[in-house]
Structure formats: C-alpha cells, structure tokens
C-alpha cells in the first residue's frame, strides 16, 4: 500500500472512489464513516474539524482490509462483528442474520402489548438466531421468563454470547421445530414470537448481494412451492404450547400477508391483527389462542 499522503481526508477519498464502483455513492461514504468511527473513534465532525489528521501504517491496514471485505460484499456488521438492535449491541457473525429495523418494530409491539404484565410471563422465541428478540424482550420485561430455541448450534453459540454480554438470563435450547415430538417437549407459554425464514427463492433478485451471498440462507429462504411451511408448523406448536388466551407474534413476508392470515385462521387462532412497518409494508401479525 503506497499513498502520497496518509492524511485521513486523502485516504477517505481514495477508498471512496474504490467503493463507489460497487455501491451507491451515499452508501459507500457511510461505510467509510462507520469504519473511521468504529476503528478510530473519529466522527464525521472530528474529521471535518481536523482534515489533516494522519493515520499510522497499522491504522491504514485496518481501513484497507475492511474495504477489501466490503469489495467482496461482506456485510459491514460481520466485518465489525457487531450490530445494534433495540438499543443493544450484539455480536454477529455468518451463523446468524443481521438484525433488521423491522424486527425492532415487532419487539416494540410486544413490549407495548405486555407492559402491564408482571412476573410469571413466559415467552418463547422460535428461531432465535442472534437472540436479538429474546434479549430485547428480557431487557424490556425483566420479570418475564424467556426461552429461545434454534436448530443451528452455531447460532446458539452467538446467542449465548449476546445474552452474557448483555447480562440477561435466557433459557436456550437446540431443537428442530419440525421434529415430531417437539411439541411434547415444550412447556406452556403466555407468548410465542418468531421471525422465521420467509423470503421465497423467486424473490432473490430483490435481495442485495451482501445479504444473499453472506447471511445464512437457511434463515432467509423458503421454497416457492410451500412458502408458509414454517408458519404452519409454528402455528401447530403454538396451539399446543400456548396457555389459553396466549398470544402469537410473527414477522411475515409482506407479499403473503393474506395467505398467512388464512393459515392462522385455519389453525384456530382468533383476534388476528396485521400491522405495517415504517415502510408501509405488511410486516407483522399478532393473534390469540
């Protein structure tokens, strides 16, 4: 790596030109701002006030390798090994999906719905991944007892790490939701929540390359022939495991909202409410046993 100057303004300009070949201009600039903030605690204002700030060789290497990974479309959250969700910092790697703002909206709905409930509330998060939902709920509802399951052992390693770093107690267990006896093995719950795989294979063209190529496909995609396969099984488990009057919260595919509602009605759920996300997409459902 040879640069005429190691001034941060010049370094940023060089790598901005590189990233703009692959990303929209604004996104490329945001990536570099995030790198300087994460690695050197230099905000955009800091750099504007001190454009002649110089980077050392080791600092240059950090920027270089981060940009190199971005050029391979590795999500920046995986590069940093962290993501922010519902006011929390979470560790993330290729074993788990990167938490999305839409899922924060689902968590907020649950918190608002359960804010008056006290000790004894039992919650199950199905397909917990990074445990972003489970940990956020435990933080917001500290008297609740929170369980979380996933089929991926790698994801559960991440989930345990996040629970520990955020100082909450979650009862994690590794289980396949499609296992014949999974219903018998579960306790009863007052609330079940899930953000299962729901993106159809035919929708892959709508998915960005960094997501499609690097986030765990098994946590994202479903076959077009049966796109509600997870919802059907979750509904079955919820019907058997929810206490009378218990609630089921789901994040859903915006294109399959009506089909999902019909599935839940056919499974015996009542008081089904559909809610849009901040982008006005049908994104989440609440229903009751």
pLDDT of residue 186: 74
Q: What residue numbers bound the domain in which 16 lies?
A: 8-72
Which two structure tokens, joined as six digits, stand for 102? 């839409």
Residue 2's pLDDT band (boundaries 50, 70, 90)? low
Domain shared by 68 and 117, yes or no = no
Residue 120's pLDDT band (boundaries 50, 70, 90)? confident
Residue 159 lies in a domain: yes
Domain shared by 47 and 125, yes or no = no
From 1, 6, 10, 62, select the one nearest 36 (Cα to Cα).
Answer: 62
Q: How many CB atoms lie within 10 A of CB 78?
A: 18
Q: Which residues contact 237 (CB under 8 A, 6 or more apart)?
A: 126, 177, 182, 183, 186, 192
| Total domains, the chain | 2
- The arithmetic mean of pLDDT across residues 94-105, rounded, is 97
Domain shared by 37 and 147, yes or no = no
- The arithmetic mean of pLDDT across residues 127-142, rounded, is 97
Cα(190)–Cα(123) distance, rounded to whole angstroms?
Answer: 6
pLDDT of residue 199: 96
pLDDT of residue 118: 67
- Whether the pTM exceeds 0.85: the reply is yes
Least confident span in 106-110, 111-115, 212-216: 111-115
Which two structure tokens, joined as six digits, stand for 46? 């800091």
Domain shared by 139 and 257, yes or no = yes
Domain shared by 146 and 230, yes or no = yes
User: Each residue of 147-195: pLDDT tens digit?
Assistant: 999 999 999 999 999 999 999 999 999 999 998 777 676 779 999 999 9
Residue 2 lies in a domain: no
User: Each residue of 3-57: pLDDT tens digit?
Assistant: 778 899 999 999 999 999 999 999 999 999 999 999 999 999 999 888 889 999 9
- The arithmetic mean of pLDDT across residues 102-129, rounded, is 92
pLDDT of residue 288: 97
Last residue of a domain, one of 37, 72, 107: 72
Domain shared by 60 and 203, yes or no = no
Domain shared by 201 and 241, yes or no = yes
Residue 14 lies in a domain: yes
pLDDT of residue 162: 98
Domain shared by 65 and 127, yes or no = no
């Amino acid at each position: 790596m040879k640069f005429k100057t190691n001034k941060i303004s010049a370094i940023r300009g060089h790598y901005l030109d590189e990233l703009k070949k692959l990303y929209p201009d604004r996104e490329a600039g945001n990536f570099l701002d995030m790198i300087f903030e994460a690695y050197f605690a230099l905000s955009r204002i800091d750099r504007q006030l001190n454009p002649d700030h110089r980077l050392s060789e080791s600092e240059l290497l950090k920027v270089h390798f981060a940009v190199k990974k971005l050029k391979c479309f590795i999500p920046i959250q995986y590069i940093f090994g962290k993501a922010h969700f519902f006011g929390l910092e979470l560790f993330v790697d290729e074993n788990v999906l990167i938490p999305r703002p839409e899922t924060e909206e689902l968590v907020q709905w649950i918190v608002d719905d359960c804010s008056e409930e006290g000790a004894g509330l039992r919650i199950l998060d199905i397909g917990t991944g990074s445990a972003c939902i489970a940990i956020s709920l435990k933080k917001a509802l500290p008297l609740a007892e929170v369980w979380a399951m996933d089929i991926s052992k790698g994801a559960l390693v991440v989930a345990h790490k996040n629970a520990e770093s955020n100082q909450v107690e979650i009862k994690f267990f590794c289980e396949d939701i499609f296992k014949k006896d999974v219903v018998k093995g579960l306790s009863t719950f007052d609330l079940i929540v899930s953000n299962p795989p729901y993106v159809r294979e035919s929708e892959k063209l709508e998915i960005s390359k960094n997501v499609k190529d690097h986030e765990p496909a098994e946590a994202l995609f479903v076959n077009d022939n049966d796109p509600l396969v997870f919802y059907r099984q979750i509904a079955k488990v919820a019907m058997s495991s929810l206490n009378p009057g218990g609630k089921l919260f789901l994040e859903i595919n915006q294109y399959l909202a009506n089909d999902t509602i019909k599935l839940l009605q056919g499974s015996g759920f009542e008081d089904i409410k559909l809610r849009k996300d901040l982008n006005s997409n049908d994104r989440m459902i609440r229903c009751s046993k």
